[in-house]
Amino acid sequence: MIADLQCVVLDCPDPRELADFYQSLLGGTVNQPDPRWELGEDWATLHTASGLVLAFQRVAEYQPPRWPDPSRPQQFHLDFGVDDLDDAQGQVSALGARVLDEGADGRSWRICADPAGHPFCLVRH
């Protein structure tokens, strides 16, 4: 095992509004303090009672999906918790992932893409 799933991140125009919507649907706590994420105007989280964490990320000029129209596909990414960013990056690269952003200034995450091009983040525990 290389990583554990930390959360599913959904792009949106208003992170808090979408977090509140999903809280009404699933219960849980919006913006519960968690050392893995910095909360703010561009990021919100929902910790559900089942343990699932949803995160909501503001995207400038957000264009919602038009399912099943492939010109505007569904949008989300996964965050995977890892102990060692360099080691995990090497392992996922060996499996066929591409590194999209290695991060800078000691950032605690790296952005990769799976073999089909879907982005995901490796996030240091």
Rounded distance between C-alpha atoms, residue 53 and residue 45, angstroms = 7
The phi, psi pair for 84, rounded to 5°, reads -130, 115
Domain boundaries, the chain: 4-124
What fold, for 4-124? 2,3-Dihydroxybiphenyl 1,2-Dioxygenase; domain 1 (3.10.180)
Q: Report pLDDT for 36.
A: 87
Average pLDDT along the chain, 125 residues, taken 10 residues at a time: 94 94 94 91 94 94 87 86 94 94 86 87 91
Rounded distance between C-alpha atoms, residue 15 and residue 5, angstroms = 20
The helix (run of H) or strand (run of E) holding residue 94 is helix 85-94
Q: Report pLDDT for 8.
A: 94
Give 61's contacts (C-beta < 8 A, 6+ positions apart): none
Calculate ∠ Cα 5-8-13, nearest 5°.
160
Rounded distance between C-alpha atoms, residue 89 and residue 66, angstroms = 33
Calculate ∠ Cα 17-25-68, nearest 5°.
80
